[in-house]
Amino acid sequence: MAQILYSPGVCNIGPEEIARRRRVGWVGLIVAILLFVALYGADVNPWWRLFIFFPAMFSASGFLQAYFHFCSGFARRGIFNFGAVGKTENVTDGASKALDRRKGSQIASYAALIGAVVAILCVLI
């Protein structure tokens, strides 16, 4: 297996952190589905289904971070991790931090957009 290295704005997490983000994605997806089933089954006003935005965004964020090998939270904090979970290193270069923040914001925006689309679709069903 090829070694993954920190690359500003491209990759800031290694295999253990990637697996962790993927698990977050699955948990968010399960919560979103359960919330939809509960709200749909309770026959409440369909607008309440907009709350599905939160677990859908959470899920999308986890899956996107796993896909891109990039943690948006780490980017905001100026750190990266390619070892054991919880053992981070600091990004020292200002230009690298800026690239990381841009990528982190991009992932957060994509996750919010996906969460919004899912929530709106759940209202319309």
With respect to residue 4, please indicate whether it lies within any of the assigned structural domains.
Answer: no
pTM of the model: 0.93
Overall number of domains in the chain: 1
Assign 3-state DSSP to the chain and report helix, strand, coil percentages, each to 5. Answer: 70, 5, 25
With respect to residue 100, please indicate whether it lies within any of the assigned structural domains.
Answer: yes
Domain that holds residue 41: 15-124
With respect to residue 7, please indicate whether it lies within any of the assigned structural domains.
Answer: no
Look at residue 1 and tell me whether its pLDDT is greater than 60.
no
What digits encode the pLDDT tens for the residues 8-38?
999 999 999 999 999 999 999 999 999 999 9
With respect to residue 3, please indicate whether it lies within any of the assigned structural domains.
Answer: no
Q: Say what the pLDDT of residue 2 is.
A: 60
Q: Say what the pLDDT of residue 3 is.
A: 67
